[in-house]
Amino acid sequence: MIIKQISIFVENKPGRLAEITEIIAKNNINIRALCVADTTHFGILRIIVDNPEEVERILKDAGLTVSITSVITACIHDKPGGLASVLKLFADNGIQIEYMYAFIAKSDNEAYVVMRIEDEDTAAKLLHANGFVGMND
């Protein structure tokens, strides 16, 4: 349920995101999920990969500014109300989400939501207790 996410600093200039994804491609890293946070002057590319520790090292060696953080994943039904079921659970329990993104799973009718939450252990317990499973469960 708790997995590692790689975040990469991306300066806001033309071609920079392409350069970074090129580095990721050259090192044969498969991006399972991604999201880009954009501000006026920079972005933060957040990716989910297999072997995050190794990927962190590779990207750092390539000169990128990288951090590794824990995020919560939850499998939801790919149908109306799927996401709302998780968010309502968090709202009812006063758990705040810093940011989130979602992607469709390989199997039909399922999607994954990735959430950055300060107190991830409490959130994970809550999800478990309510029958949710994560990407790595």
Partner 1 sequence: MNRYFNEAIETAPRNQLFHLQSYNLSRTVYHAYNNMPMYRKRMDEAGVKPEDIQSVSDLKKLPFTYKQDLRDNYPYGMFAVPPEELQRIHASSGTTGKQTVVGYTKHDVDIWAECVARALVAAGADENDFVQVCYGYGLFTGGLGLHYGAEKMGATVIPASTGNTARQLTMLQDFKSSIICCTPSYALYLADSLRDLGIPLDSIHLKAGIFGAEPWTENMRREIEERLHIKAYDIYGLSEISGPGVAYDCECQNGMHVNEDHFIIEIIDPITGEVLPDGEQGEVVFTCITKEALPLIRYRTHDIASITHEKCECGRTFVRMTKPCGRSDDMLIIRGVNVFPSQIESVLLSCGNVDPHYMIIVDRVNNTDTLEIQVEVSSANFSDKVRSFEAMAAQISASMQSVLGLSAKITFVEPNTIQRSEGKAKRVIDKRKLI
The site for partner 1 (CB under 8 A) is made up of 5, 7, 9-11, 37, 39, 41-42, 44, 46, 60, 63, 65-67, 69, 98-99, 116
Say if CB 43 and CB 99 are below 8 A apart. Answer: no
Least distance from C-beta 106 to partner 1, angstroms?
A: 25
Q: Which is nearer to partner 1, 116 or 124 (CB)?
A: 116
Q: Which is nearer to partner 1, 103 or 110 (CB)?
A: 103
- H helices of 5-119, in order, are 16-26, 52-61, 82-92
Say if CB 115 and CB 54 are below 8 A apart. Answer: no
Say if CB 86 and CB 129 are below 8 A apart. Answer: no
Q: Which is nearer to partner 1, 14 or 63 (CB)?
A: 63
Neighbour tally for 63: CB within 10 Å: 8
Least distance from C-beta 39 to partner 1, angstroms?
A: 6
